[in-house]
């Protein structure tokens, strides 16, 4: 059964709260017992009043007060326990899902909107974490009402049969409502995912949207998505309203018929007034059994839907995960090789086609070629951000597919044209890659990255908050902070992906000096449109149509390769 399977999965995240769940269950059993007893005591008060038994009325009223006080205290206790269970379980599920999202293949991330992951991380996890509390609450109400139902059976069989007919009738209506609403909820959640992804893009790209004067078109797009989502929500609410009205109408009819039935049973002396009062007191509770049962069904379907959406990411085949080997290299030397490597994005045109080249330890290699030649793809494959379609990549002679994640990711750093800087202080940005980073190590890395003097000129120095994406820093400062972050990580291989293409000459010179500071101690690969940044490389590889067309020093390529010479001459003319 789907529910049992999903509950077992959810329990993995709640099992640390087992004691709380047991106490919570015991408390609810007491509440069930009290809820069955209270209507009987209330009816007795009314009967004793009509019989002028005032002493009995006072005594039963005091007992009622004590029982009610006991229920209130137990209810308070259960609310606290349920809040703790929810909080702990919710956090664990969110953390687990966050970890799984970070394990997804880049191809999977590329093909899905960020809203898919945001909605499931924020909303679906909440519904799963709350399932044990929800089941307890609704099952408690249902069991309470079933207990009352049993009491009515003992008092009068005709009244019991009437209630059975009433419950079955209302149940049919509620079952139909839950099924329709669940289908509409599926449609609504898909729209909500699109909105979350779009809003994320809108916020991140707000500056570009303003500069492009594209506010109107973006708002029209957002408006269209919001209207579509709200229409789906409206359909859901409308369905609920229609069926709720039908249910209330049926309840009113059955309430009226029940009173007439009780009058008839008293008239034929089959029921005493006291017993009729007890049944009438129970009436509201018994009719609510269908309401609670339908709500339970709704919550179960909601839980199953959230579970499917969540576990599709955690275990599903549609969200493929990165795979790594089990070989570990304690210390990577920094030499690697591409052997007949072929690769394409989304099975389209091959970006790399039978690519072959070697890099030795502590070499500085430049990559040159037209846009789309496959330069950045080489870096992505080396970091195993994507898997090759054909061929083999080796690091220190070991197939990259056989290495564990740490051997690859802990030994390679990519510094891109627009490195992501987190909305933290400079110090905390550096400590992200090494939590036990000392002040001396931090300053040494920043000196090598030609950044220390700038940081010391800031009022808060290393405690300066840089803003989301490092917005308070210039492009060159972000680049140098990314270089410092790589040095802190102490990876053996550093990849510069167009790290200087958008910088002015003065800033480029500082970045170039930072790179020079690293040579001979690291294996360095550089992609650059500005060939002037590559003149000091040990070798330059010229890519064309996914293959190495030529390689050699800057001087050698100027003499031997026409395409390289044309690129260089075009740059000089600029």
Q: Under 8 Å CB-to-CB from 191, ≥6 apart: which residues?
A: 225, 228, 229, 232
Residues 6+ apart with CB under 8 A from 148: 35, 36, 39, 282, 285, 286
92 and 230 assigned to the same domain:
yes
Same domain, 309 and 430: no
Q: What CA–CA distance (Å, rounded) separates 233 from 22?
A: 37
CA distance 114 to 108: 11
In a domain, residue 448? The reply is yes
Which H helix or E strand runs over 548? strand 547-552
Q: Mean pLDDT, the chain, as a whole number?
A: 78
Task: Give the domain range for residue 451.
Answer: 421-490
Domain C-terminal end among 299, 314, 329: 314
Mean pLDDT for the stretch of residues 442-462:
84
Domain boundary among 262, 287, 314: 314
Buried b (16+ CB within 10 A) or exposed e, 386-396: bbbeebebbbb
Using alpha carbons only, what angle is made at residue 261 by residues 257 and 265, rounded to the nearest 5 degrees? 175
Q: Report the chain's C-alpha Rg in angstroms.
A: 35
The percent of residues in the chain predicted with pLDDT above 90, rounded, is 1
Question: What is the domain-level CATH number for residue 263?
Answer: 1.20.1560.10
CATH number of the domain that 479 lies in? 3.40.50.300
Report the pLDDT averaged over residues 185-194.
75
Q: Environment class of residue 28 by beta-carbon count within 10 Å: exposed (0-12), middle (13-18) or buried (19+)? A: buried
The Cα–Cα gap between 434 and 51 comes to: 81
Q: What is the pLDDT of residues 482-520, one digit of tens each?
A: 878 877 877 778 888 876 554 556 666 666 776 776 677
Same domain, 304 and 427: no
Kindly state whether residues 299 and 444 are assigned to the same domain: no
3-state SS class at 503: coil
Q: CA dist 319 to 112, 306, 316, 456, Å? A: 9, 16, 6, 46
**Please, are residues 383 and 414 in contact by the beta-carbon 8 Å criterion?**
yes
Tell me, yes or no, whether 359 lies in a domain.
no
Is 36 a domain residue?
Answer: no
Q: Which two tokens stand for residue 397?
A: 């002679």
Q: How many CA atoms lie within 13 A of 166 on its CB side?
A: 27
- Tell me the pLDDT tens digit for each residue of 237-279: 788 788 878 877 888 888 888 889 888 888 888 887 777 877 7
Residues in the chain: 574
Would 78 be classed as within a structural domain? no
> What's the token pair of residue 401?
């597919």
Statement to judge: residues 275 and 130 lie in one domain: yes
Q: What tens digit of pLDDT does each residue of 130-185 get? A: 777 777 777 777 766 666 777 777 778 888 888 888 888 887 887 788 778 777 77
Q: What is the pLDDT of residue 415?
A: 77
Q: In what order do the strands lie in the sheet with 493-497?
A: 412-415, 493-497, 523-527, 364-368, 539-544, 547-552
Q: Are residues 121 and 261 in the same domain?
A: yes
63 is a domain residue:
no
Distances from the Cα of 321 to the Cα of 33, 165, 204, 310, 379, angstroms: 50, 53, 26, 14, 20
The count of domains in the chain is 2
Q: Cα separation of 452 and 480, whole Å? A: 10
**348 CB-near residues (< 8 Å, 6+ apart):** none
In a domain, 553, yes or no: no
Residue that finishes a domain, picked among 465, 490, 515:
490
Q: Which residue has the higher pLDDT, 187 or 538?
A: 538
């Amino acid at each position: 059964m789907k529910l049992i399977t999903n509950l077992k999965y959810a329990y993995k995240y709640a099992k640390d709260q087992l004691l709380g769940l047991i106490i919570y269950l015991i408390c609810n059993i007491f509440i069930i017992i009290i809820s069955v007893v209270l209507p009987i005591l209330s009816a007795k008060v009314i009967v004793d009043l009509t019989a002028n038994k005032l002493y009995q009325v006072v005594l039963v009223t005091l007992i009622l007060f004590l029982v009610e006080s006991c229920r209130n205290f137990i209810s308070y206790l259960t609310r606290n326990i349920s809040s703790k269970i929810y909080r702990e379980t919710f956090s664990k599920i969110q953390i687990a899902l966050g970890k799984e999202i970070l394990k997804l293949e880049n191809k999977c991330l590329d093909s899905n909107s960020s809203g898919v992951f945001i909605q499931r991380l924020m909303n679906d996890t909440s519904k799963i974490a709350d399932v044990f509390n929800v089941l307890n609450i609704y099952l408690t109400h249902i069991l309470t009402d079933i207990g009352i139902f049993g009491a009515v059976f003992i008092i009068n069989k005709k009244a019991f049969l009437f209630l059975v007919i009433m419950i079955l009738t209302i149940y049919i209506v509620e079952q139909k409502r839950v099924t329709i609403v669940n289908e509409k909820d599926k449609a609504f959640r898909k729209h909500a995912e699109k909105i979350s992804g779009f809003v994320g893009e809108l916020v991140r790209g707000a500056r570009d949207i303003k500069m492009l004067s594209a506010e109107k078109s973006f708002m029209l797009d957002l408006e269209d998505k919001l209207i579509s989502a709200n229409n789906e929500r409206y359909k859901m609410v409308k369905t609920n309203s229609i069926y709720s009205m039908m249910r209330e109408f049926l309840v009113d009819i059955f309430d009226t018929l029940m009173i007439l039935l009780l009058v008839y049973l008293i008239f034929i002396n089959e029921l005493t007034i006291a017993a009729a009062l007890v049944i009438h007191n129970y009436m509201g509770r018994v009719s609510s059994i269908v309401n609670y049962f339908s709500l339970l069904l709704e919550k179960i379907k909601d839980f199953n839907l959230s579970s499917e959406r969540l576990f599709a990411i955690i275990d599903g085949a549609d969200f493929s995960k990165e795979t790594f080997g089990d070989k570990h290299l304690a210390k990577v030397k920094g030499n690697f090789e591409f052997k007949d490597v072929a690769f394409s994005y989304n099975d389209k045109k091959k970006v790399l086609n039978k690519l072959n080249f070697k890099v030795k330890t502590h070499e500085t290699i430049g990559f040159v070629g037209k846009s789309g030649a496959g330069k950045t793809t080489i870096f992505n494959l080396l970091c195993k951000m994507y898997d090759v379609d054909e061929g083999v990549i080796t690091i220190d002679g070991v197939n990259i597919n056989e290495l564990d994640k740490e051997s690859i990711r802990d030994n390679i750093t990519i510094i891109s044209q627009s490195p992501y800087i987190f909305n933290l202080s400079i110090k905390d940005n550096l400590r992200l890659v090494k939590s036990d980073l000392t002040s001396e190590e931090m300053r040494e890395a920043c000196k090598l990255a030609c950044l220390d003097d700038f940081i010391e000129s800031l009022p808060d120095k290393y405690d300066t908050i840089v803003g989301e994406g490092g917005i308070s820093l210039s492009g060159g400062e972000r680049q140098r902070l990314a270089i410092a972050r790589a040095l802190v990580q102490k990876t053996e291989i550093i990849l510069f992906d167009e790290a200087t293409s958008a910088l002015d000459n003065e800033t480029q010179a500082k970045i170039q000096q930072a790179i020079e500071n690293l040579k001979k101690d690291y294996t360095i690969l550089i992609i650059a449109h500005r060939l002037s940044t590559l003149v000091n490389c040990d070798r330059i590889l010229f890519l064309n149509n996914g293959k190495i067309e030529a390689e050699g020093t800057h001087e050698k390529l100027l003499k031997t390769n026409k395409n390289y010479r044309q690129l260089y001459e075009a740059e000089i003319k600029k």
